[in-house]
Chains A and B, each alone.
Chain A
Amino acid sequence: MSPALVRRAGRSVGAPVRALADLLVKRDGPYARAFENLILALIALSVVSVVVEATSPLPVWAKQALRIEEIVIVAVFTFEYLLRIVAAENKLAFIFSFYGLVDLISIAPFYFAGLDVRYLRVLRLLRLLRVLKLQRRILEATVADRTRELADRHALLQQAQAQLKAELEVARALQIALLPSAFPAKPGCDGAARMVPATTMGGDFYDFIELPDGRMGLVMADVSGKGVPAAFFMAIARTNLREQAAHHADPGACLARTNEVLCEQNPMDLFVTVFYCIFDAATGLLRYANGGHNPPYLRRADGSVEALSGAGGLVLGAMPGIEYPDHTVQLRRGDRLVLYTDGVTEAFNSADEAYGVERLIAEVQEHGDGAAADLVERICSSVTVFSGTAPQSDDITLTVLAWHAPQAPAALR
């Protein structure tokens, strides 16, 4: 036969054997489990036979039966051994591996001793080593179990994480939905607000409240901390503030009462800084109280900028029994009031510098002439440009109120 013919013959025999190997001994093969069980049964049978053979004198028919049984077992084990060699990617490595040698030892004594094994009892006892074949089964089963367990846990974790993320996104959306979307229409004034949320859930909020007496309440606030606790406290603070605002004509009294309520329901020792003012759009009179918040800036029509006095009141939620004094300032036509949270002035760039009040004041001074919405956008984009690629660690929140003074009926005439 030419070498080519031998190769072709090898291929024609090799293909079905390989297919058989895939079916029977490859892990996840369709009949692998059944074949493995057959091997296990034969191992057990073989061990029992050795014990029976060694311990009691047997009639001739029994000896013959055991002999046939041994031939069948060795035939099956040999078949299995060959299939495992075929299935192995690195055949030499398999032959010299622990299990390869065990497989060989469990059949070799039979071939060594030929048909007559009477003189080689020691070799026959080697068949007991077939028990070692069990180990493969145990090990593989353990590994498969562990792998499945890990995969299950990983899937559970991923599912939990995805759910948590989705829930946090919903919470964030609900939190942002609490903020008023538009400034109430009032003759003589115009206002705009914007919050740029940080990546982690923050606690900034602003609010516009139309009061029963026709005046308007404006709120700028910042809850300490971040995450779900801050978001919850923000919702509680905002709701209580809104409710108290309807009942108190003075901003200080409103803050004092809100503080009492917040102190009663504050297991996490959170607190909120609040600037609250009541604006009369007809007269330009602004009454305000400050609970630990950055003082807003008042830009006069002539371009000068001043911080509102009266800062330093205690944050809300920290301690009951606090009074908040009222302050008053008269706005003039063309004035702008800029309310903000420290997310603006404490926005950091990649060099770890803060945006700071000087930059904010400069923007307000330079661009405060136009519409309220324009100034809000100006400041936001100035902060964004300043921080560059640095991550935004805090909410950035701004409100601008512009007062043009309503047309007096006298002037119309």
Chain B
Amino acid sequence: MKVRLETLGPTTLVIPQGRLDFASADRFQEQLEQALAGAGTAPAALIIDCVDLDYVSSAGLRVFLRAARAAERAGVSFAVCALKPAVRDVFDLSGFSRIIAVHASRAMALQSPAGPA
């Protein structure tokens, strides 16, 4: 799995590509932690843009959960966006879309990157 990083003002975007499973989970976890730490100062918002993410296993979901928790502790707003149908199913089935803000597109996530109500 490949991961790209983009910075848009105070927002850091993490864009994972491919399959997020047990094999790639630890590496992705590290990358998210680095993104959260930022270059000296933490970003105001962290968005995981899943437009190129094909698959998420339960080990992959755990990375999202840990990132959401770490963001909350750091006072960084956290959201995911542009989930493919297979990934969206996993988020819905596991109930994760109830506790993590899910937006249909990057534009919508950037407009309201605040956490779930």
Residues of A within 8 A of B25 (CB): 225
Q: A271: which B residues are within 8 A, CB to CB? A: 58, 61-62, 65
Would you give the shortest CB distance from A274 to chain B, in whole angstroms?
11
B58 touching A291, Cβ below 8 Å: no
Q: Which residues of A contact B96 (CB under 8 A)?
A: 292, 314-315, 318
Choice from A226, A269, A295, A314 contacting B95 with Cβ under 8 Å = A314
**B99 surroundings in chain A (CB, below 8 A):** 314, 318-319
- Contact A226:B94 (CB < 8 A) given known A269-B66, A271-B65: no
Please give the number of chain A residues whose Cβ is less than 8 angstroms from any Cβ of chain B in the complex. 25
Contacts of A291 in B (CB 8 A): 95
Complex-state Cα separation, A273 to B57, whole angstroms: 12
A225 and B22 contacting across the interface, CB-CB below 8 Å? yes
Q: Are B59's CB and A226's CB within 8 A?
A: yes
Tell me the smallest distance from the CB of A352 to a CB of chain B, in Å: 9
Contact (Cβ within 8 A) B65 A225: no
Is A312 an interface residue when CB atoms closer than 8 A count as contact? yes
- A269-B69, A318-B99 are known contacts. Are A224 and B93 too (CB-CB below 8 A)? no
Q: Which residues of A contact B22 (CB under 8 A)?
A: 225-226, 393
For the complex, is A294 an interface residue (Cβ under 8 Å from B)? yes
CB distance from A361 to the nearest CB of B (A): 16
Cα of A311 to Cα of B93 in the assembled complex, Å: 6
**Complex interface: chain A residues within 8 A of B59 (CB):** 224-226
What is the bound-complex CA distance between A222 and B59, given in angstroms?
A: 11
Q: How far is the CA of A226 from the CA of B62 in the complex (A)?
A: 12
Q: Is the CB of B65 within 8 A of A273?
A: no
Could you say which of B58, B61, B69, B96 has the most chain A C-beta atoms within 10 Å of its C-beta? B58
Q: Do the beta carbons of A292 and B65 come within 8 Å of each other?
A: no
Q: Is the CB of A312 within 8 A of B93?
A: yes
Q: Mark B68-98, 1 if CB is under 8 A from A, else 0.
A: 0100000000000000000000001111101
A256 at the interface (CB under 8 A from B): no
Give CA–CA (A295, B92) in the complex, Å: 12
- CB A202 to nearest CB in B, in angstroms, measures 10
**Contact call A292/B95, Cβ cutoff below 8 A:** yes
B-side contacts of A226, CB under 8 Å? 22, 59
Cα–Cα distance between A275 and B41 once the two chains are bound (Å): 42
State the Cβ distance, A44 to closest chain B Cβ, in Å: 60
Within 8 A of B (CB), among A6-45: none
Cβ contact of B98, chosen from A224, A314, A393, cutoff 8 A: A314
Contact pick for B62, options A224, A311, A319, CB 8 Å: A224
| Contacting pair B93 A270 (CB below 8 A) | no
Q: Check: A346 CB closer than 8 A to any chain B CB.
A: yes
Query: Residue on B with the closest CB to A324?
Result: B95
* Contacting residues, chain B, for A342 (C-beta < 8 A): 57-58
The answer to whether the Cβ of A197 comes within 8 Å of any Cβ in the partner chain is no
With contact pairs A225-B22, A393-B22 given, residues A273 and B94 touching in the complex (Cβ less than 8 Å): yes
Q: Whose C-beta in chain B lies nearest to the C-beta of A230?
A: B59
Given the complex of chains A and B, what is the CA–CA distance between A291 and B94 in angstroms?
Answer: 7
A393 CA to B21 CA, complexed, in Å: 10
Residue contact A222 to B93, C-beta cutoff 8 Å: no
Which residues of A from 310 to 361 have beta carbons under 8 Å from B? 311-315, 318-319, 322, 342, 346
Within 47-65 of B, Cβ neighbours of A (below 8 Å) are at 57-59, 61-62, 65
CA distance A226 to B22 in the complex (A): 8
B65 touches A269 (CB 8 A): yes
Once the chains are docked, how many angstroms separate the CA of A70 from the CA of B86?
91
Whether A273 contacts B98 in the complex (CB less than 8 A), given A312-B93, A393-B22, comes out as no
Q: Which of B58, B65, B66, B92 contacts A312 (CB 8 A)?
A: B92
Tell me the bound Cα distance from A292 to B95 in angstroms.
6
Chain B residues with Cβ under 8 A from A273's Cβ?
Answer: 58, 94
CA–CA, A274 and B105, complex, Å: 31
Q: Identify 25 residue pairs between A and B in the complex whose beta-carbon atoms are under 8 Å apart, listed by A's number.
A: A223-B58, A224-B59, A226-B22, A226-B59, A269-B69, A270-B62, A271-B58, A271-B61, A271-B65, A291-B95, A292-B94, A292-B96, A293-B93, A311-B93, A312-B95, A312-B98, A314-B99, A315-B61, A315-B96, A318-B65, A319-B99, A322-B95, A342-B57, A346-B57, A393-B21
5 cross-chain pairs, A with B, having the tightest CB-CB distances, nearest first: A314-B95, A292-B94, A224-B58, A224-B62, A292-B95
Additional A-B contacts beyond A226-B22, A271-B58, A318-B95 (17; CB < 8 A):
A223-B58, A224-B61, A269-B69, A271-B61, A291-B95, A292-B93, A292-B95, A292-B96, A293-B93, A294-B93, A311-B93, A312-B98, A314-B95, A314-B99, A315-B95, A318-B96, A393-B22
